[in-house]
């Protein structure tokens, strides 16, 4: 009887298990760990997960030198104040006799300033529209940000909210805190003005493109600023702001959405932040965005 010289099937099974385990180990080893809330807060916006770059955006490289007297004029989203100040300090510290002049008058003011040639860069907390891109504007992705739903610490709401409840509150379909597990008290909705990029991002992320409510419990701020909104919350108000402007506050808190707080993986209200410029970029823009790129 001829001897069977074929390798044992158990050998193949053993090799398959070894290679599968090794491949699985390599795969999971290569994956970045899920960020904790504490790590995200410590890293700040500069080290936040970066969005995929726009394929139409030119590459910027770190400048070896920048001409003395260079001035970069930036205005835009209030959500990017801390980020702007951090980059301003770093850029001016690395390149002598340069100035980064920053303001925060809202995304729309920044965009209009760039289109009119009054600004070099607009700090914008929403994507560009097709019309804005046709006018020659380009968006350079800088960071990712989360929009927090904010209430006062004195608000008796003890639990979180669902995405549907938040949507219904800001559309005026839910008007009493008792409808979401709170006390029997009217909900005062504090909204940001139309020029706010955060408002526009909120409308897309939270309301899924639908309109805000217009009931008597809705208040729209005259100015796109977070501090007045937080002060207006009281015991019965609800508003929204970039998460970094909420987490360290002593008098207000972020509300968990579907059981998840800002700073944790899976938080639903996440957006990209951009620096917008007119194409082709001038030397000041090229130098500054090259510096920003080197920080990522």
Query: What are the tens digits of pLDDT across the range 36-64?
Result: 333 333 334 444 444 444 445 678 999 99
If we measure between CA atoms, which residue out of 158, 138, 161 comes closest to residue 149? Answer: 161
> Do 119 and 130 sit in the same domain of this protein?
yes
Tell me: pLDDT of 257 over 80: yes
Give the pLDDT mean for 254-266.
95
Q: How confident is the model at residue 186 (pLDDT cuts 50, 70, 90)?
A: very high
Is residue 33, in this structure, part of any structural domain at all?
no
The number of CA neighbours under 13 Å toward the Cβ of 176 is 5
> Do 159 and 259 sit in the same domain of this protein?
yes
> Do 225 and 141 sit in the same domain of this protein?
no
> Do 162 and 218 sit in the same domain of this protein?
yes
> Do 264 and 164 sit in the same domain of this protein?
yes
What's residue 52's pLDDT?
Answer: 42
Number of domains in the chain: 2
> Do 82 and 173 sit in the same domain of this protein?
no
> Do 92 and 161 sit in the same domain of this protein?
no
> Do 73 and 112 sit in the same domain of this protein?
yes
What's residue 87's pLDDT?
Answer: 97
The number of CA neighbours under 13 Å toward the Cβ of 213 is 20
Is residue 126, in this structure, part of any structural domain at all?
yes
Query: How far is Cα 208 from Cα 213, in angstroms, rounded to an integer?
Result: 14
H-helix or E-strand spanning residue 19: helix 9-30
Is residue 5, in this structure, part of any structural domain at all?
no
Is residue 218, in this structure, part of any structural domain at all?
yes
Joined tokens for residue 278:
């007119």
Is residue 205, in this structure, part of any structural domain at all?
yes
Report yes or no: 129 and 279 within 8 Å, Cβ to Cβ.
no
What's residue 56's pLDDT?
Answer: 57
Q: What percent of the chain has pLDDT over 70?
A: 81
Is residue 156, in this structure, part of any structural domain at all?
yes
> Do 176 and 245 sit in the same domain of this protein?
yes
The distance from CA 159 to its chain's CA centroid, rounded to whole angstroms, is: 24
Query: How far is Cα 62 from Cα 291, in angstroms, rounded to an integer?
Result: 5
Give the pLDDT mean for 7-14.
41
What's residue 168's pLDDT?
Answer: 98
Residue-range definition of the domain harbouring residue 115: 39-145+273-295
Tell me: pLDDT of 3 over 60: no
Distances 64 to 56, 95, 220, 288, 290 between C-alpha atoms, Å: 25, 9, 46, 12, 10
Tell me: pLDDT of 34 over 70: no
The distance from CA 258 to its chain's CA centroid, rounded to whole angstroms, is: 19
Query: How far is Cα 26 from Cα 169, in angstroms, rounded to an integer?
Result: 46
> Do 156 and 258 sit in the same domain of this protein?
yes
pLDDT in tens, 118-171: 999 999 999 999 999 999 999 999 999 999 999 999 999 989 999 999 999 999
If we measure between CA atoms, which residue out of 259, 219, 231, 235 comes closest to residue 177? Answer: 235
CATH of the domain at 249: 3.40.190.10
Is residue 8, in this structure, part of any structural domain at all?
no
> Do 137 and 181 sit in the same domain of this protein?
no
What's residue 158's pLDDT?
Answer: 87
> Do 132 and 205 sit in the same domain of this protein?
no
pTM: 0.70
């Amino acid at each position: 009887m001829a001897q069977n010289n074929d390798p044992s099937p158990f050998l193949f099974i053993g090799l398959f298990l070894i290679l599968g385990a090794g491949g699985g180990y390599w795969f999971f080893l290569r994956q970045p760990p899920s960020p904790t809330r504490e790590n995200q807060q410590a890293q700040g916006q500069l080290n936040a997960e970066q969005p995929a770059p726009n394929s139409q955006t030119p590459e910027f490289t770190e400048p070896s030198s920048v001409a003395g007297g260079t001035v970069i004029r930036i205005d835009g989203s209030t959500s990017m104040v801390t980020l702007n100040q951090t980059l301003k300090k770093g850029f001016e510290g690395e390149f002598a006799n340069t100035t980064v002049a920053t303001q925060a008058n809202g995304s729309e003011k920044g965009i209009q300033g760039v289109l009119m040639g009054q600004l070099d860069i607009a700090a914008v907390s929403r994507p560009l529209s097709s019309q804005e891109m046709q006018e020659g504007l380009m968006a350079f992705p800088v960071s990712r940000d989360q929009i927090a739903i904010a209430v006062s610490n004195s608000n008796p709401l003890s639990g979180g909210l669902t995405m549907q409840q938040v949507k219904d509150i800001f559309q005026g379909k839910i008007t009493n805190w008792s409808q979401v597990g709170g006390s029997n008290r009217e909900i005062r909705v504090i909204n940001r003005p139309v020029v706010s990029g955060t408002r526009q991002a909120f409308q897309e992320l939270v309301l899924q493109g639908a309109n805000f409510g217009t009931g008597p419990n809705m208040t729209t701020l005259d100015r796109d600023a977070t501090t007045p909104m937080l002060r207006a919350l009281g015991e019965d108000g609800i508003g929204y702001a970039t998460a970094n402007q909420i987490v360290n506050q002593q008098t207000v808190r972020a509300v968990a959405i579907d059981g998840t707080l800002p700073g944790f993986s899976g938080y639903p209200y996440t957006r990209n932040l951009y620096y917008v410029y007119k194409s082709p970029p001038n030397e000041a823009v090229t130098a500054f965005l090259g510096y920003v790129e080197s920080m990522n």
